[in-house]
Structure 1
Amino acid sequence: MGMSVTVSTATDDDAENILKLQYLCFQREAEIYGDYGIEPLTQTLDALRAELGEGCVLVARLGSEVVGSVRGSVDADGTARIAKLIVHPRMQRHGLGGRLLSAIEERLAAEREAKRFRLLTGHRSEGNLRLYRRLGYAQTATEQISRRFSQVTLEKAAAQAPTFAATA
């Protein structure tokens, strides 16, 4: 009998496991762009702990193992910035990334009144771009960061809560 993956709020106790998973997951991005100095690979444990305290961080667990994570925060105008969606390589292509993204969207809309969602990815990160487009994100900007790297911004509006007609 297999275990199922659960998604929950990350705690400070998860920080080290999230950072290790982040390092593993962003190796492919670093390889694509030929840049192993990208922020996800250089982030410190203290910086990650600060993010845990300030924003919304979710983890996906298979038993007690952290196999995925995503982070988000909402600014004053209601724009939720979603970042560092990671899924362990052996768990990819099973819908977990989409599950995490939907979970953070729901949380940020319900608890922090997000009106729209924004995320960033690299122009050559085809898997990421496919996932985000499939989940309703549209490209709104591209910024050339360096000769080898352009950052793509994608956004979508927060879904409106369903309204139910009162019945007498």
Structure 2
Amino acid sequence: MGMSVTISAAAEQDAEKILKLQYLCYQGEAELYNDYTLEPLTQSLDSIKAELTASQVLVARLGEEVVASVRATVDADGTAHIGKLVVHPRMQRHGLGGRLLDAIEQRLTTDGAAHRFQLFTGHRSDGNLRLYRKHGYEAVGSQRVDERLTLVTLSKETEPVAYVASA
């Protein structure tokens, strides 16, 4: 019998697992852009521990193994900034990235804090761009970082919450 993937809030003891997963997942991005100095590849364990405290961080587990993760913060204007959505290479193309994206969006809108979502990815990251567009994100800008990389910013408004009046 196979195990199912569960999504939950990350705990402090997940920091090292998230760091290792992030390092593994960003190898493809580094190769794509010929840049192994990308921030997710150089981020420290202490920095991830700080993000666990300051951000909403979700993980997907297969048994005890962390196989995916995503982070987000909400600014004072109600924009949720989603970042570092990573899925273990052997778990990709099974809908897990979309499930995590939906889960973080739901978590950030449940309390009404987020009114829009924003994220970015590299211009050559076709799989990422396809995933985000499938989930309703639209390109709203781009920024050329250097001759190899242009960051594409994507955004979407939150779904209106329907309230049911009771008599």
- Asked if these proteins are the same fold (TM beyond 0.5), I'd say yes
What amino acid does structure 2 have at the position aligned with 1:135? H
Aligned-pair distance for 1:55?
Answer: 0.6
Matching residue of 1:82: 82
The separation in 2 between residues aligned to 1:162 and 1:127, in whole angstroms, is: 32
Superimposed CA distance per residue, residues 96-136 of structure 1 (whole angstroms, 9 cap, x where no aligned partner):
00000000001111236100000010000000000000000
Aligned residues of 1:72 and 1:80 also touching (Cα < 8 A): yes
Matches within 5 A, 1:154-165: 154-165=154-165
Deviations 1:52-97 (A, max 9, x none): 0001000000000000000000000000000000000000000000
C-alpha separation in 2, matches of 1:77 and 1:62: 35
Does residue 5 of the first structure (1) align with residue 11 of the second (2)?
no
Q: Which residue of 1 aligns with 2:25?
A: 25
After the TM superposition, which of the residue ranges 109-118 and 10-19 deviates more from structure 2?
A: 109-118
Q: CA deviation at 1:159?
A: 1.0
TM-score with structure 1 setting the length? 0.97
Describe the SS at the equivalent of 2:40: helix
| Alpha-carbon distance between aligned partners in 1 of 2:28 and 2:10, rounded to the nearest angstrom | 24
Letter in 1 for 2:61: R
What is the Cα deviation at residue 163 of structure 1? 2.5
The residue identity in structure 1 corresponding to 2:42 is: T
1:118 aligns with 2:82: no
Matched position secondary structure for 1:61 = strand
Q: Give me the whole-angstrom Cα distance separating, in 1, the residues matched to 2:122 and 2:163.
A: 37
**What is the rounded CA distance, in whole Å, between the counterparts of 1:18 and 1:112 in structure 2?**
27
Moved over 3 A (4+): none
CA RMSD across the alignment: 0.9
> Aligned AA for 2:121?
T
User: Within 5 A, what are the aligned runs for 1:1-168?
Assistant: 1-111=1-111, 113-166=113-166, 168=167
- Structure-2-length-normalised TM-score: 0.98
> How far apart in 2 are the matches of 1:162 and 1:155?
22
Which residue identity is paired with 1:131? L
How far apart are residue 27 of structure 1 and its match? 0.2
Aligned residue type for 1:89:
P
Does the CA-based 8 Å contact 1:15-1:45 persist in structure 2?
Answer: yes
Question: Equivalents in 1 of 2:7, 2:112: separation in Å?
Answer: 18
Q: Which runs of 5+ in 2 are unaligned?
A: none
SS at match of 2:143: strand
Q: How much has 1:165 moved relative to structure 2?
A: 4.3
Question: Contact between 1:57 and 1:71, CA under 8 Å: does it hold in 2?
Answer: yes
How far does residue 164 in structure 1 lie from its aligned partner after superposition?
A: 2.2
